[in-house]
A and B are shown apart, each in its own frame.
Chain A
Amino acid sequence: MANTKEVRKQIASIKSTQKITSAMEMVAASKMKKTQDTMLEGRPYSLKIKDVISHVALANSEYPHPFYEERTPKKACFIVVSSDKGLCGGLNINLFKQVIAKSAELNEQGIESCFALIGTKAAGFFKSVGGQVIAVAEKLGDKPNPDDLIGLTKVVLDMHKNGDIDQAYLCSNGFVNTMTQQPNVEQLIPLAPEEKEESSPTQWDYIYEPEAKELLDGLLTRYIESLVYQAVIENNACEQAAKMIAMKNATDNAGDLIKELELLYNNVRQAAITQELSEIVGGAAAV
């Protein structure tokens, strides 16, 4: 039978863990609000640039951009967005599982994979799994700066331009609501062509100032950057929500554990008292 001192020690240690997890829960809850606001603030830009891109796709441009070009794929790049810190439940690992599955699927079709990673967790995971990592961006913080992602995006786009990769996928968690985060693997390049509306009979094109090539290059690069940035801030909101839930569960579990241990503690204590009493009585009878 365990002795009372041991049980008491265990209760104390679980209580202090519970305090930490409940503090982390509260921190995550307050950060969640902020990251959600950031996510919502970024939305108008990504919606508008999407509109513009869909207009551009409808225009009969004199310059077909390489991002629309379907090549026979030989190599694909996955841009994987993860969190910098752990303790957020299965958020990251669920996403990585999807990425690995997709990569295996492509491998069967003879398409190689390489990875561009955002977040410390992805960097650690793909290092241990072993995959070709072409770029890493870590420690972006709660309010990531779009500038911090330009480098990584540029590496991917340059590789596409040189023909080193033919496809690019953006893998990140989508924010459904506080309880649910949905891991997504989305194709970035080639850009899916918009379905042409049949109701627009007239053929038209933009006036480009300056050249179409230069402009579309800039605009589409910006579009890809904005998609990646939006994915990162959305992933941040997911991280905080998942962390809050995970920490709440941990706090609840610690509470259950403490209850059980307290019961055990009382049992042990009572057993000790009973034993002592019977020893005294036994001793008195012997005398």
Chain B
Amino acid sequence: MSTIKINIVSSSEEIYSGEATMVYATGTLGELGIAPGHTPLLTGLAAGPVRVQNGSEEEAFFCSGGFLEVQPDLVTVLSDTAERADSLDESEAIKAKEAAEQELANKDASLDYAKASAQLAEAVARLKTIQKLRKNQ
């Protein structure tokens, strides 16, 4: 089976590097599936899971946004922050979501509205990643 090289990096570390038979990612315009030999593609990434399939094995990562570049033999994920999905903690994600919602509700305070709603979106995406993983197991 043909494979494609995949690198996932975030600004503070290298997350994953290896071969894959299929890569799934959440682009800004919707979910993407990338098979080896894909035509060159450049897209933004929305907060959500990036899944790397190699044969029957699958690994999942959470990515809070960034860019995805595809060359026929290479996929590069430039993530703002990425983490292995196993290390995602549901209770932490729920806590973050609640905190963000609270900040949004508390509008009169001198808070950065855009920042708070970005935080909320990220927390929700994190939760979705966890829930999706649960379903797959």
Contact = CB atoms under 8 A, between A and B. Distances in A.
A206 B41 contact: yes
A229 B76 contact: no
Contacts of A161: none
B24 to A, nearest CB: 15
A49 B10 CA distance: 10
A226 interface: yes
A226 B10 CA distance: 11
Contacts of A218: 44, 67
A149 to B, nearest CB: 11
Contacts of B12: 38, 41-42, 45, 146
Chain A residues touching B, majority SS = helix
A210 B78 contact: no
A98 to B, nearest CB: 27
A218 B44 CA distance: 9
Contacts of B40: 55, 59, 204-207
Contact of B14 (A44, A56, A219, A229): A44
A215 to B, nearest CB: 6
A2 to B, nearest CB: 57
Interface in A193-222: 204-210, 214-215, 218-219, 222
Interface residues of A, number: 27
A229 B11 contact: yes
B71 interface: yes
Interface string B37-49: 0011111100000
B76 A51 contact: yes
Contact of B43 (A42, A48, A208, A222): A208
Contacts of A49: 78
Interface string A114-151: 00000000000000000000000000000000100000
B112 to A, nearest CB: 12
B27 interface: yes
Interface of B: 7, 9-14, 27-29, 39-44, 66-67, 69, 71, 76, 78
Interface of A: 38, 41-42, 44-45, 48-49, 51-52, 55-56, 59, 146, 204-210, 214-215, 218-219, 222, 226, 229
29 contacts: A41-B12, A41-B14, A42-B13, A45-B10, A45-B11, A45-B12, A45-B14, A48-B7, A48-B9, A52-B67, A52-B76, A55-B69, A55-B71, A146-B11, A146-B12, A206-B40, A206-B41, A207-B42, A208-B43, A209-B27, A209-B28, A209-B44, A210-B28, A210-B43, A215-B42, A218-B44, A218-B67, A219-B67, A226-B11
Given A45-B9, A45-B12, 8 more contacts: A38-B12, A41-B12, A42-B11, A44-B9, A206-B42, A208-B41, A218-B44, A218-B67
